[in-house]
Amino acid sequence: MRSLLVPLVIGLLLSLTAVFGVQWSAVRFSIDAVMKDYIARELAQESDELFGALSLRPDGEVKLALEHFDPSFLEPSSGRYYQIQLERAVTLRSPSLASDTLAMVPVERGTRHAGRAAGPKDQLLLLISSGYELGGRPVTIGVAADLKPLHTEFDSLMARYTQVSLVMFALLVVLQVGIVRLALAPLRRIQADVNRLERGEITQLGERVPAEVLPLVREVNRLLALLTRRLQRSRESLGNLAHALKTPLTVLTHMADDDRVRRDPVLGPQMAAQVGILRSRIDAELRRARVAGGRATGAPLDLPAELDALAATLRKLYRDRKLDITCRVQPGVQFRGDREDLLELCGNLLDNACKWARTRVLISARAENGLLLTVEDDGPGCSPDDLTRITRRGVRLDEETEGYGLGLAIASSIASLYGAELRFGRSPELGGFAATVTFPPN
């Protein structure tokens, strides 16, 4: 059985992962761009300061009249460099460059060019080249900074940000799962109501559910009420039909018992046989039609009381034979089904046992991976061949063996409606015939 929670949580995880992935990439790109723009502006400002300190001597040489240098420009391979080109010739370099030279191309006056360049000791530099004009001659000033410290700080920042994001991701997942569970709580109430309905504690599902599920719940309740009404009407109609057939059947019986009919060597036996067949067929079909089948929505039946009452009825029917009809019911055993079905099933099995019993009949019920119901007698039982034929033919037993016939066929029909298994054999305790019904767990 698939749960709604699983696909919802999986969808939530995938969507949050996508959102956090896009957010992480956007934050990384944005912070990287902002930091590099900040450094580029700083380098461009230093280029302007260097140009402001330039002067052109009469001999055509460029002089840098700057009193205070950034200390990083003075330390070799410090990661901070400048280079000044007059036209295409390198004129001045920062002491930090030592003997190295920056790969610069001249740029036009009033423009800047930003790019990457190789520095001393394989440093990766951000190089800002700015174009100026001094004494009518083009000047290009390049200022560069090593990006490795920036990358180190940036990676440290992103590591902390990633940790915070993962914590927030976990918190959001937990929060969203809680929200989903809260949203699905009404469905769990419906599941609980279904279980209570099966146990017979309620007759309909509660309607305090979300609007999206309410039509389904109302339809289920409508079907439950409809099935209950139909079953009741069916049984009432069958009762009326049985009452309506009773009078003409009684008339036919009296006619068959008339002396003139009975003395007739051909008509008498035929009419008596046909009336008997008609009566048995009507009884059989009425019994089958009364079977509800399946689990009932009412409370569990009081199995000991029902079986005791049924046994008492059979004792009265067979009082002339003085049968010992005993009931054994394991404490706590329950039957969740229709009461009429149980009485019809046990009644037919007990009636069959009483017909063949010598002195004793035993009906027992116990829990064994479900409900195990057994009816035994101390009669002659069935031969192995008959037992095989009974098992094979099922509901058509009435056409196979006299005595083990119509009642067993009806019992087999009722058992099949409940998904139960009806088996026939020899009683280990009484030595006669034994019928065992195994109901599946509730």
The predicted model gives 281-286 an average pLDDT of 64
123 Cβ contact list (under 8 Å, min separation 6): 77, 79, 146, 148
Percent with pLDDT over 90 in the chain: 14
Residue 159 lies in a domain: no
Q: Are residues 73 and 48 in the same domain?
A: yes
Does some domain include residue 262? yes
b/e for 93-103, b at 16 or more Cβ within 10 A?
Answer: bbebbeebebe
- Domain boundary residue among 245, 262, 290? 290
Q: Which residues, other chains included, contact 293 with Cβ-Cβ below 8 Å and sequence gap of 6+?
A: 338, 341, 414, 417, 418
CATH number (domain holding residue 330): 3.30.565.10
Which neighbouring-strand residues pair with 364? 328, 374
> Of 258, 290, 322, which residue sits at a domain end?
290
In a domain, 332, yes or no: yes
Same domain, 362 and 431: yes
Out of 70-79, 87-96, 361-370, 385-394, which region has the weakest mean confidence (pLDDT)? 385-394
Confidence of residue 33 (pLDDT cuts 50, 70, 90): confident
Shared domain for 430 and 320, answered yes or no, is yes
Mean pLDDT computed over 364-369: 88
Confidence of residue 325 (pLDDT cuts 50, 70, 90): very high
Is 126 part of any domain?
Answer: yes
Nearest to 414 by CA among 242, 292, 282: 292
Q: Do 219 and 137 lie in a common domain?
A: no
pLDDT digits (tens, 9 = 90+) for 197-223: 776 677 788 877 777 778 888 888 888
Q: What is the mean pLDDT of residues 98-113?
A: 86
Model confidence pLDDT, tens digit, residues 373-425 = 999 999 988 877 777 666 444 434 444 434 445 677 778 888 888 888 899 98
Query: Does one domain contain both 129 and 93?
Result: yes
Over residues 233-241, the mean pLDDT reads 72
Domain that holds residue 20: 7-151
Does residue 185 lie within any of the structural domains? no
What predicted TM-score, i.e. pTM, was given to this entire model? 0.46
CB of 174 closer than 8 Å to CB of 13: no
User: Residue 56: beta bridge partners?
Assistant: 62
- Asked if pLDDT for residue 293 goes beyond 70, the answer is no
Query: Quick check: is 219 in a domain?
Result: yes
Domain co-membership, 112 together with 214: no
- What is the CB neighbour count within 10 angstroms for residue 133? 12
Structure token digits, residue 156: 């440290």
DSSP H helices in 291-432: 303-317, 339-356, 384-393, 406-417
Distance CA 150, CA 161 (A): 16
Q: Please state, as a whole number, how many other Cβ atoms lie within 10 Å of the Cβ of residue 41.
A: 11
Higher-confidence residue of 44 and 292: namely 44
Domain ends where: 270, 290, 310? 290
In a domain? residue 59: yes
Q: Are residues 274 and 328 in the same domain?
A: no
Q: How many domains does the chain have?
A: 3
Query: What is the pLDDT, as a whole number, of residue 239?
Result: 67
Same structural domain, 264 and 352? no
- Do residue 257 and residue 336 come from a single domain? no
Element (H, E) at 80: strand 80-86
Residues 384 and 279 in one domain: no
Domain-embedded: residue 12 = yes
CATH number at residue 12: 3.30.450
- Confidence at residue 365, expressed as pLDDT on a 0 to 100 scale: 93
Question: Residue 92: its pLDDT value, please?
Answer: 85
- In this structure, are 322 and 237 located in the same domain? no
Integer Cα distance of 47 and 381 in angstroms: 116
Report the C-alpha gap between 157 and 150 in whole angstroms.
Answer: 10
Domain match, 272 and 303 both:
no
More confident residue, 186 or 173: 173
CB 404 within 8 A of CB 390: yes
